[in-house]
Structure 1
Amino acid sequence: MSEVHIHKHEVKGKNLVLSILLNVIITIAQIVGGIVSGSLALISDALHNFSDVLSLVFSLVAHKLSRKKASIENTFGYKRAELIAAFVNASTLVIVACILIYGAVERFFNPHPIESNLVIWLAILGIVVNGLSVLFLKKDAEHNINMKSAYLHLLTDMLASVAVLVGGLLMKYFGWFWVDSVMTILIAIYLIIVGTKLLVTSTKMLMLFTPDTINIKEIVREVHKIKGVQKLHHIHVWHLNDEELHLEAHLDCSEDITMSEFNILLDKVEQVLFKKFHINHINIQPEYKKVDPKDFIVQD
């Protein structure tokens, strides 16, 4: 398998550690505050924060595992651990959202008086803490799906705290205690939207689906322009993780060339695949008039 080396963004695990510590603090504060004030929105925000802590810990473990070197027993190392973390984190977002909606609907028809001042101050604390955590992970989230899942947990929690703050102000100045339930439902709906999107993305990667950015027919057209290529077939393209895009295929040569000549042809194919499609891991099986299916996609 040939590999075209590219510069990789170095994800910083220490940012996750800082975010974990900050979220432990806000989770404890919001649980206590939610019980004292009687605010379901605050407790639901704390529940979301607790899921953040678990997801961040899981993301940190996955991040550490992904950096472990490959071995005879694990030829790819643990690079796909971060995809599993992203999948689990996205799933928890959706599950937590469903729990929140159930509780909010029940509370909506049975509203309780709420200590709005405590809700307001703890919501502000949540905004500050989660805002800092979001800033810590923003750059890493642009390059890594595991970090993106952790980032989304924190971003949605910051927005949830904003919603709780608005609800707290409305309860304080207008006595609208039903707003607590409405804000909880809005938070939950947003969680379902962002969680489902990430869940679909991580599932596609785990299932080795062709990336959305890749057009197999376009790959074939470009490779077929190279002199010496008869047909590219038996094609598979998949993400090992966010950084590594793999392709394996059979390459039917137009002439019966030597291995050294094939190496030259292979180099041309690799350059096209890397420059035009950003595929940096390539495994090509050379052929010449071999009798086998020549379809682009073949069920192996």
Structure 2
Amino acid sequence: MGQHHNHEHHHHHQVEGKNLLFSIILNIVITVAQVVGGILSGSLALLSDALHNFSDVLSLVFSYVAHKLAKREASVNQTFGYKRAELIAAFVNAMTLIIVALFLVYGAVERFFNPEPIKSGLVIWLSIIGIVANGLSVLLLKNDADKNLNMKSAYLHLFTDMLASVAVLVGGLLMKYFQWFWVDSVLTLAIAIYLLVVGFDLLKDSTKMLMLFTPTHIDINEIIEEVHKIPGTDKLHHIHVWHLNDDELHLEAHLDCSEDIKMSEFNEILHKIEHVLFDKFQINHINIQPEYNREEASKDFIVQD
């Protein structure tokens, strides 16, 4: 069986865990301040933002731990190491976004029918602190979020926090100058709806990776077509393509050779396949089983083993 890893072309994005740690500290401070402020002011929007921040603290801690675990080397008992830990973290973070959103919907509806006077001045100042602190955290994680699903989940938590704080600030100003206390409930509901949207999107992406689904940008038929152009190949079958994590895209398959060749000749074919799969599809780990004239060889490209 031929197995190649295209390391010479593949460069891992070095995620900055220290940025995540700094964001955790910031969010702990924000959460404590908003809980106290929400209780003193009577603002549900501020308390809901504090609850969201608290869920972020837990999610960020989980993301940080997963990030550290993912760097551990493989062993005989964990042959892939902990590389999928960050996918699990992204999945859990997506679930917490959705759960928090549903809780906020319930609270917003209840408060809408039973509005209460709110100390808007405290709400305004605490929301400004939330905007500054979360905005700084968002800037710290922006680059990592583009390269790593786990960091993207942390980034989305912080970004929605920043938007929530902006909404709370607007609500505080409207309550202060117009006494529109119902705005508190409306803003809480808007924050919740946004959380549901980004939460479901992240949940969908992380679930697909955990289930080893074929990545959306990969066309199996196109892979087959490109491999079959290489001299010496007959048919590629038993194909599986999946993400091990954000950095590693794997392919395993059986390859029927057109002739009964030596292993050294197969290695040349494998080398060509490796470059084609990486250059055209960014697949950096391939594992191909060579076959020749096997009577039981499958006639289908995709086979459930």
Contact 1:234 1:294 in 2 (8 A): no
Q: Does 1:296 align with 2:298?
A: no
Specify the code of the residue in structure 1 equivalent to 2:245: N
The equivalent residue for 2:206 is 202
The alpha-carbon deviation at position 192 of structure 1 amounts to 0.3
Q: Does 1:80 align with 2:79?
A: no
TM norm structure 1: 1.00
Which 5+ residue runs of structure 1 have no aligned equivalent? none
Which stretch has the larger CA shift, 1-10 or 251-260?
1-10
| CA distance in 1 between partners of 2:98 and 2:119 (Å) | 29
SS of structure 2 residue aligned to 1:183: helix
Q: Does 1:231 align with 2:235?
A: yes
SS of structure 2 residue aligned to 1:68: coil
SS of structure 1 residue aligned to 2:215: coil
The alpha-carbon deviation at position 128 of structure 1 amounts to 0.2
| CA distance in 2 between partners of 1:75 and 1:55 (Å) | 27
Post-superposition Cα deviations, 1:173-192, rounded to whole Å, max 9, x if no partner, equal: 10000000000000000000
Contact 1:223 1:232 in 2 (8 A): yes
SS of structure 1 residue aligned to 2:81: coil
The equivalent residue for 1:126 is 130
Specify the code of the residue in structure 1 equivalent to 2:14: E
Match of 2:181 among 177, 184, 189: 177
Match of 1:242 among 219, 243, 246: 246
| CA distance in 1 between partners of 2:45 and 2:56 (Å) | 16
Specify the code of the residue in structure 1 equivalent to 2:164: A
Q: Does 1:102 align with 2:106?
A: yes
Q: Which runs of 4+ in 1 moved over 3 A?
A: none
| CA distance in 2 between partners of 1:75 and 1:299 (Å) | 23
| CA distance in 2 between partners of 1:239 and 1:295 (Å) | 23
The alpha-carbon deviation at position 294 of structure 1 amounts to 2.6
Superposition map of 1:30-109 within 5 A: 30-109=34-113
SS of structure 2 residue aligned to 1:237: strand
Which 5+ residue runs of structure 2 have no aligned equivalent? none
Specify the code of the residue in structure 2 equivalent to 1:85: A
Specify the code of the residue in structure 2 equivalent to 1:16: L
| CA distance in 2 between partners of 1:92 and 1:289 (Å) | 52
SS of structure 1 residue aligned to 2:75: coil
Post-superposition Cα deviations, 1:116-141, rounded to whole Å, max 9, x if no partner, equal: 00000000000000000001100000
Contact 1:93 1:192 in 2 (8 A): yes
Specify the code of the residue in structure 2 equivalent to 1:2: H
Post-superposition Cα deviations, 1:146-190, rounded to whole Å, max 9, x if no partner, equal: 000000000000000000001001000100000000000000000
| CA distance in 2 between partners of 1:165 and 1:182 (Å) | 13
Contact 1:250 1:284 in 2 (8 A): yes
Specify the code of the residue in structure 1 equivalent to 2:6: V
Specify the code of the residue in structure 2 equivalent to 1:276: K
The equivalent residue for 2:156 is 152
| CA distance in 1 between partners of 2:88 and 2:287 (Å) | 25
Specify the code of the residue in structure 2 equivalent to 1:59: S
| CA distance in 2 between partners of 1:289 and 1:271 (Å) | 26
Match of 1:272 among 253, 267, 276: 276
| CA distance in 2 between partners of 1:91 and 1:124 (Å) | 28
SS of structure 2 residue aligned to 1:236: strand
TM norm structure 2: 0.98
| CA distance in 1 between partners of 2:87 and 2:13 (Å) | 17
| CA distance in 2 between partners of 1:104 and 1:265 (Å) | 63
